[in-house]
Structure 1
Amino acid sequence: MPVGMPEFVENPENRCPVILLLDTSGSMSGQPMQELNRGLAAFKQDILKDSQASLSVEVAIIAFGPIVKLMQDFVTIDQFTPPILEVNGLTPMGAAIEYALDFLENRKQTYKDNGILYYRPWVFLITDGAPSDSWESAAQRLREAEAQRRLLFFAVGVKDADMNTLKQISPPERLPITLNGLDFREMFVWLSASVKRVSSGKVGQAVALPAVGWGQITS
């Protein structure tokens, strides 16, 4: 009789965890948030087209603004219902990154406890502003985790995002990307294509990601 949490007994496939770290501060109100919500729906639909990715990709959503809040715990994509995000308040980006790193470590331990292999996790941050809290220690911790190959971090700046700060937060080998307009849908389709490539390979295998056609890399 298999031993472990029911979700892993029923689906023992390798996991590809993705944390979406989303800015829901007041400046994202209106069309930006509408397009972000549409992008999340497109992300789910695109991954569902791939039977292997549907079993492997796990998504969690952490929103920040005015507080850091877990909007969606890790679930496979068939169980994922994109939340309707609402906006308010400031941009506690530093606290959100710290929360995401702790949350991810807990999930990785759960995989290990249940004998589940996992691909290098993704943390995908989207913001249109600047941190309203202290972020330096969070950035250092994030860069160390990236250097130790414990995660892949991507930062995406929307509209008037503080790209200089995002450059200081991001690992030097993966500079932040400025989104073309509000093209969240294309960004999420790219993310879907990327994690589908990852989930079709072996754990630890290097995978070439699709070209970024939805934004400009900040140099």
Structure 2
Amino acid sequence: MRRLPVYFLIDVSESMVGEPIEQVQQGISTVMTALKTDPYALETVWVSIIAFAGKSKVITPLQDVITFYPPTIPIGSGTSLSSGLTTLMQAIDRDIVTTTFEKKGDWKPLVFLFTDGTPTDASEQAITQWNNHYRRKTNMVVISIGDRTNYALLGSLSENLLRFQDTDANAYSAFFKWVTASIKATSEHVSNHGMEVINLSKADPGVMERIDLTKQQVVPDDQYVVVHGKCSKTKQSYLVKYRQALQSPGIHDFQTRVYEIQGAYKIDADSYEALSSQAASSIKVSSSELQGNTDCPYCAQRFAMATCNCGKNHCIRGNGKNTCPWCGQTAYYRFSSRRFDINRTLG
């Protein structure tokens, strides 16, 4: 029986600690439980797990679905994509049965690469080796967890580049159902049609989206965070500007990125729109990264940085009812000590 090898290449860097790695652990277990009930998967699918951080290792060697038992996924320091790719390529060389004149070998391996960050090493040589010698022999799906990855770099590995909106347990559950459905569909396809074509299930757009690298990828100016707001009273536009500063809290002198308030400034909305990039984006900044607030430059209400459920920013006087000048919704506003995301401009 020809095998369909499935490799999970998982970023286990420190940024994955906590809920992300716990959800991946649970997700792999869910995937395997489902595959054990699928007749096509039972006959064809073999699975291996490779973890990479500053270094990489094979956590689970390639084995059939029946004998596979989900391992404990560790955490490491760093994000060495080159190490992860190298270990994956070595595993493919070692594991895969190639086709000869006498017999058919394994189907093209299906690789799921999960990562939530930017490589901390020089990965160009490993990427070149992958593209020259392995890319055409495999079907790779690259999943960016969140939006802080280097899409151009990841897109150089595969045309199948997707962004998983890292939100909550329900989103992770939906995501791994998609992974399961994609493996099942590919297994059934190769079994019935003998064609080595990846068969990805339709993704829930609320959970995951395909990254189109033919479109310009917008990158914000990280020296500044600028937020577009609107006065609740006059409905006129303004910009709130923050500038990056380095802060060293605690005795360990770890530096964290924060932005300090510079002020709020009146702008002409029509001129601003005419000169602004029309590239669609959903760029956000965490409220924990912003220090300070400022008055509205039009009505002088004390807080120019209130966020409505519609995602737009405007001014308020303080706790209490207020009507959003963007969407017209009236709601009760209050201060929050919890972190939340704020829509920002490109800067």
Instruction: Give TM class, smaller chain.
Output: 0.7 to 0.9
Deviations 1:66-98 (A, max 9, x none): 320110000111111111212121111111112
Alignment of 1:88-103 (within 5 A): 88-103=76-91
Inter-partner Cα distance in structure 2 for 1:78 and 1:158? 29
1:159 lines up with 2:159 in the alignment? no
* Alignment match, 1:120: 108
TM-score (norm 2): 0.54
RMSD value, Cα? 2.4
Identify the structure with bigger relative contact order (alpha carbons < 8 Å, sequence gap 6+).
1
Alignment of 1:4-153 (within 5 A): 13-109=1-97, 115=103, 117-145=105-133, 148=136, 150-153=137-140
Inter-partner Cα distance in structure 2 for 1:146 and 1:215? 26
Inter-partner Cα distance in structure 2 for 1:120 and 1:185? 27
Gaps of 5+ in 2: 213-347
Once the two structures are TM-superposed, the CA of residue 189 in structure 1 deviates from its matched residue by 2.1
The structure carrying a bigger helix percent of its residues is 1
* Alignment match, 2:269: none
- Mean alpha-carbon deviation: is it higher for 186-195 or for 41-50? 186-195
Counterpart of 2:47 in structure 1: which amino acid? V
| Change over 3 Å in CA distance of 1:105–1:161 after alignment to 2 | farther
> Which structure has the larger Rg over C-alpha atoms?
2
**Identity fraction in percent:** 23
| Change over 3 Å in CA distance of 1:208–1:66 after alignment to 2 | closer
Aligned residue for 2:140, secondary structure, equals strand
The structure carrying a bigger strand percent of its residues is 2
Once the two structures are TM-superposed, the CA of residue 163 in structure 1 deviates from its matched residue by 3.2
Counterpart of 1:157 in structure 2: which amino acid? S
* Alignment match, 1:181: 166
| Change over 3 Å in CA distance of 1:161–1:142 after alignment to 2 | farther
- Mean alpha-carbon deviation: is it higher for 181-190 or for 24-33? 181-190
Deviations 1:126-176 (A, max 9, x none): 01111111211222222334653x0011111112431334444323x32x2
Counterpart of 1:105 in structure 2: which amino acid? D
